[in-house]
């Protein structure tokens, strides 16, 4: 019996690593997407990526939004959002915005354009392995869609106090967000590894129904290549191999504890300070939710409460529960645990909405002598909570859930 790869979420052996054009391969045990190839896998990604790059450039060149109140008007562009954070001394947040909204998306799209363009020209791209590894690492930190939702939340907050206009860059950014999401959907990394580096080689296994680890193989988490347990470096991507990420959960718990520590100042300290006619009105996250509720902006209040209060807390509890469950002697349903893991990993970055809202309002609402909004000290703490919980979730290996389940079943039998 042979297998070409294994599921990265349950370690089930898969006989085919890459789907045919217009088809998809899913894990038969946990239904994870192994490979989903577009009908036009060569031309679709480069078309969407090139269009997305053009929209990104356009979104940086023109006016984004305008704010007018009491005869005063302010025009905001993306660069001003970054500059305002630097002016207030929040260099870390400015760097976070620039990296997650410009550097990572632009680099992600440029690599896709470069790799597919080289294949169209029948050229071997330089440093293909490095480019593919960069795609693998950066895709988790693309927060363009989160920023767009943050813009919409900001609009609801300011429309009651002033007139808001939309510039060309706003509409370009909306198109950029849609095109970036579409580019990620039509780009299949297993297909790129096969086309640019080497096809996945079939290996002989004793029992295809058992996991790769049970057959003395380990899956490379970066390129999907099956390697023998004795191999310390993957021959396909030249990355260090590991049977399981952080099997003792030391890294998971370290980042989780750090996020719990930062969660306290993130909710106690003010996240935003509004200066109205010389007076100061600092507001915490919950204070902002209560204010929006009192203003009868119920949907926005619920979005902020869920994304900024409930999601970070629920994510920390979920990671702690997953860590406990794989070490517990009780036998839990691995399918339910895996669903919890997927949900935890998916919703984590959406908590960054409140950070983006503060950055947008600080750049947009700046009428000296009338009203100015400043970022609060909780902004940095809250951004740290989001980043640390994301790293903690990414450090958790869901294959431990299935390993643990099989061990407990064997012990019982």
pLDDT in tens, 250-277: 999 999 999 999 999 988 888 877 766 5
Q: Is residue 409 scored above 70 in pLDDT?
A: no
Q: Is residue 352 scored above 90 in pLDDT?
A: no
Structure confidence at residue 181 (pLDDT): 93
What CATH number corresponds to the domain at position 306? 1.20.140
Domain annotation covers residue 382: yes
pLDDT in tens, 166-193: 888 889 999 999 999 999 999 999 999 9
Cα–Cα dist 298/304, whole Å: 10
Q: Tokens in use for 35?
A: 């490979």
Domain annotation covers residue 8: no
- Output 120 or 347, whichever has higher pLDDT: 120
Domain annotation covers residue 194: no
The mean pLDDT of 225-233, rounded to a whole number, is 88
Domain annotation covers residue 335: yes
From the CB of residue 168, how many other CB atoms can be counted at a distance below 10 Å? 13
The mean pLDDT of 286-302, rounded to a whole number, is 74
Structure confidence at residue 87 (pLDDT): 80
Q: Is residue 72 scored above 70 in pLDDT?
A: no
pLDDT in tens, 10-63: 888 888 888 888 899 998 888 889 999 999 999 999 999 999 999 999 998 888
- Measured in residues, the chain has a length of 413
Domain annotation covers residue 334: yes
Q: Any residues with CB less than 8 A from the CB of 11 and at least 6 apart, and which?
A: 211, 212, 213, 219, 399, 402, 403
- Output 364 or 112, whichever has higher pLDDT: 112
Domain that holds residue 359: 245-413
Cα distances (Å, whole numbers) of residue 8 to 219, 220, 361: 7, 9, 40
Domain annotation covers residue 76: no
In the chain, the number of structural domains is 1
Structure confidence at residue 174 (pLDDT): 92
From the CB of residue 411, how many other CB atoms can be counted at a distance below 10 Å? 9
Domain annotation covers residue 165: no
Reduced to 3 states (helix: H, G, I; strand: E, B; else coil), residue 146 is helix
Structure confidence at residue 106 (pLDDT): 94
Domain annotation covers residue 4: no
Provide the whole-model pTM: 0.85
Cα–Cα dist 365/330, whole Å: 54
The answer to whether residues 93 and 375 touch, using CB atoms and an 8 Å cutoff, is: yes
């Amino acid at each position: 019996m042979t297998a070409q790869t294994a599921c990265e979420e349950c370690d089930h052996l898969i006989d085919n690593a890459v789907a045919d054009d217009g088809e998809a391969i899913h894990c038969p045990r946990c239904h994870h997407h192994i490979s989903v190839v577009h009908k036009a896998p060569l031309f679709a990604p480069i078309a969407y990526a090139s269009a997305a790059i053009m929209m990104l450039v356009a979104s940086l060149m023109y006016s984004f939004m305008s704010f007018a109140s009491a005869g005063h008007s302010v025009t905001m562009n993306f660069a001003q959002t970054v500059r305002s954070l630097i002016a207030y001394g929040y260099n870390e947040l400015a760097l976070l915005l620039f990296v997650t909204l410009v550097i990572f998306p632009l680099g992600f799209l440029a690599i896709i354009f470069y790799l597919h363009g080289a294949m169209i020209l029948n050229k071997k791209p330089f440093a293909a392995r490095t480019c593919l590894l960069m795609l693998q690492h950066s895709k988790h930190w693309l927060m363009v869609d989160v920023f767009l939702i943050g813009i919409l939340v900001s609009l609801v907050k300011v429309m009651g106090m002033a007139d808001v206009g939309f510039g060309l860059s706003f509409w370009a950014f909306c198109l950029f967000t849609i095109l970036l999401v579409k580019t990620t959907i039509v780009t299949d990394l297993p297909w790129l590894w096969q086309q640019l580096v080497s096809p996945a080689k079939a290996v002989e296994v004793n029992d295809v129904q058992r996991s790769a680890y049970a057959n003395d193989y380990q899956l490379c988490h970066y390129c999907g290549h099956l390697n023998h347990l004795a191999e310390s470096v993957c021959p396909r991507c030249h990355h260090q191999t590991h049977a399981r990420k952080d099997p003792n959960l030391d890294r998971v718990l370290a980042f989780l504890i750090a996020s719990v520590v930062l969660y306290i100042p993130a909710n106690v300290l003010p996240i935003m300070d509004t200066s109205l006619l010389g007076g100061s009105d600092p507001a915490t996250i919950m204070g902002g939710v209560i204010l929006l509720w009192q203003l009868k902006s119920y949907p926005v209040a619920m979005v902020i409460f869920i994304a900024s209060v409930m999601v970070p807390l629920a994510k920390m509890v979920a990671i702690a529960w997953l860590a406990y469950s794989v070490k517990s002697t009780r036998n839990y349903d691995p399918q339910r645990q895996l669903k919890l893991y997927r949900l935890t990993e998916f919703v984590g970055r959406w908590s960054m909405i409140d950070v983006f809202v503060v950055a947008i309002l600080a750049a947009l609402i700046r009428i000296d002598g009338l009203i100015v909004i400043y970022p609060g000290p909780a902004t940095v703490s809250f951004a740290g909570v989001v980043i640390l919980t994301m790293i903690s979730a990414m450090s958790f290996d869901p294959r431990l859930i299935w390993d643990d389940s099989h061990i407990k079943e064997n012990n019982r039998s």
